[in-house]
Amino acid sequence: MNALASRRRHPAAILLLLLLGLVATDGLYSLLAPKPAQAATATADDVNAGKMLFLANCATCHGQNAEGGKDGPSLAGVGAAAVDFQVGTGRMPLAGPGVQAAASKKIKFTDAQIASLAAYVASLSPGPAIPDDQYTKGDGNIAHGNELFKVNCAMCHNFAGSGGALTRGKYAPSLRNVTGTHIYEAMISGPQSMPVFNDANLSPTDKNDIISYLHELDKNKNPGGMNLGNLGPVSEGMFIWVFGLGLMVGAAVWLGAKAA
């Protein structure tokens, strides 16, 4: 909230307050209309509301016309999908400078505000739209999704979607309990270090299969408990080296010690 608080005297703040009222009255419409429809049928009001939000919250880094600056990249061609992903997962507005933006539980905008922002950025230049619900439900072929995941995603995001390290402090985040829409948007927009997986590489059906696989992983129960982060041999080996060998050494010492 610091970013917001420090800008409360910004000239756009009054406009923003007015807009919040407008957006609130518009909220019912936003709730009824599914997100994908908005990308295609964004009204001029949405775009204007989005522009105001953008000027108040994003323009400092991304520039008055989203042309980019030294603190943030240009948003030309990123499309509504990138906005919905970055803002909807709490990565933007950036909490602070760092190697990469981290997902946050604190989403700074309402769904309606995110939709307006997305409509505004999408109106600047064409880019990937927010995906249709039918491809993000996760009702696809889980086995096929697993196969695609292993080839295309697992080397960074780990076989169980637990995430992993990249170079110089960057990392691939965990994919556990991420919504289908956000997974889909990450694939088409290629946020931060992640490459783009466009619809020619992985078709929308393929993407739905991958989402289905990840949602199946979320549902997977863990009979043994203590999954050690699902990181594979590193964390498991570390555990048994420390605790297993520690117990063995303790037992050997006890066996060799003379009774009192």
Partner 1 sequence: MEPTGADGVDPGAALGLDRGHTEGEGGMPERFANPGLPPHVSRSADLGEHAARRAERQVAALFGISMVATVIFLVAYFAIDLDTYRFIPGIGQANLSNIVLGVTLGLSLLCIGLGAVHWAKTLMPDIEITEARHPQRSSDDARAEAVETIMAGGDASQLARRPLIKYTLGGALGLFALPLGLQLAGSLGPLPQAALSTTFWRKGMRLVRDPELTPIKASDVTIGSVFHVMPEGIDKSHDVLEEKGKAAVLLMRLNPDDIKIAKERDWGHDGIVAYSKICTHVGCPVGLYEQQTHHLLCPCHQSTFDVTEDCKVIFGPAHRPLPQLKITVDAEGYLVADSAFREAVGPSFWERG
Residues of this chain, 220-239, that bind partner 1 according to CB under 8 A = 221-227
Write down the least CB distance from residue 124 to partner 1, Å.
18
Cβ-based neighbours of 210, under 8 Å, separated by 6 or more: 145, 148, 149, 152, 153, 183, 187, 202
**What's the CA gap between 221 and 223, in Å, rounded?**
6
Q: How many CB atoms lie within 10 A of CB 84?
A: 30
Question: Judged by CB, which is closer to partner 1: 9, or 258?
Answer: 258
**What's the CA gap between 121 and 41, in Å, rounded?**
14
CA distances from 30 to 11, 85, 135 (A): 27, 18, 20
Altogether, the residues listed in the chain come to a count of: 260
Of 2, 6, 167, 169, the one binding partner 1 (CB under 8 A) is 167
Write down the least CB distance from residue 69 to partner 1, Å.
16
Write down the least CB distance from residue 168 to partner 1, Å.
8
Write down the least CB distance from residue 191 to partner 1, Å.
10
Of 14, 32, 253, 255, the one binding partner 1 (CB under 8 A) is 255
Of 166, 216, 229, 236, the one binding partner 1 (CB under 8 A) is 166
1 binds partner 1 (CB under 8 A): no
Letters for 92-131 (x = contact with partner 1 by CB under 8 A, - = none) are: ----------------------------------------
Dihedral over Cα of 27, 33, 36, 40: its sign? negative
Q: Are 146 and 206 in contact (CB under 8 A)?
A: no
Residues of this chain, 134-153, that bind partner 1 according to CB under 8 A = 147-148, 151-152
Write down the least CB distance from residue 256 to partner 1, Å.
10
Question: Judged by CB, which is closer to partner 1: 33, or 245?
Answer: 245
Q: How many CB atoms lie within 10 A of CB 193?
A: 13
**What's the CA gap between 121 and 76, in Å, rounded?**
8
Distance from CA of residue 144 to its chain's centroid? 23
170 binds partner 1 (CB under 8 A): yes
- DSSP, collapsed to helix, strand or coil, labels residue 253 as helix
Q: Using CB under 8 A as the criterion, which residues of the chain lie in contact with partner 1 when the complex forms?
A: 147-148, 151-152, 155-156, 164, 166-167, 170, 172, 190, 192-198, 200-201, 221-227, 254-255, 258-260
